[in-house]
Amino acid sequence: MSIKRIIATSATLLLGLMSINAAATHLTVELKAGNKYSFLLADKPVITFSNGDLVVNGDAETSYSIDGVKNFHFTEGDASGVESLSAGDIRIVSLEEATIQVQNLEKSSVVTLVNVSGVVLSSVKADAEGSAIVSLPQAKGVYILSVGSKSFKIIRK
């Protein structure tokens, strides 16, 4: 094969990979059991292998060790089947056993936690980024988290 042909082929492959990489927004992991997980590439996950498992490290607090991987690839959209948040959708994230964070709120929205008897346990305002941290009671039980006209059932096990 001539040097010109090798350079042309290499350049074509490089441009193809760059265009694929430019369109890819997620790392999608498919499991042998059929489940799919997607990780946002903008979060810059670090992907390694450990003891036969695929390990995806997001930030200092998130690390996922995934076994039974069928394959993984890069996709343009989220292939996990979980829909992306739109402007009005609220996300509830468990920070630790006794604390949850409510995200994607309007600034100064009030988040209220009540027990099933209707007693208000806490009321927190969202910060400028639209986030509020709510402490859960130590007692196991069912609680209601309300934001405006939306309510969510929280179960503390």
pLDDT in tens, 47-67: 887 777 778 776 666 677 778
Do 3-75 and 91-156 come out as alike in CATH topology?
A: no
Q: What are the distances in angstroms from CA 56 to CA 30, 31, 82, 135? A: 13, 14, 18, 29
If one compares 61 and 126, the residue with the highest pLDDT of the two is 126
b/e map of 44-59 (b: 16 or more CB within 10 Å)? Answer: ebeeeeeeeebebeee
- CATH number 2.30.30 is the correct assignment for the domain at 3-75: yes
Strand 63-66, strand 69-75: pairing = unpaired
Lowest-confidence segment of 49-63, 111-125, 132-146 by average pLDDT: 49-63
Mean pLDDT of the 5-32 span: 58
Asked whether the whole model's pTM tops 0.85, one would answer: no
Q: What's the CA gap between 131 and 64, in Å, rounded?
A: 24
Residue 92: pLDDT above 70?
yes
Expressed in percent and rounded to 5, the helix, strand and coil fractions of the chain are 15, 45, 40
* Cα 123 to the center of its chain, rounded Å: 26
Q: Average pLDDT, whole number, for the chain?
A: 76
CATH superfamily of 91-156: Immunoglobulins (2.60.40.10)
pLDDT band for 39, please (50, 70, 90 cuts).
confident
Domain boundaries defined on the chain:
3-75, 91-156
The per-residue pLDDT for 11 is 46
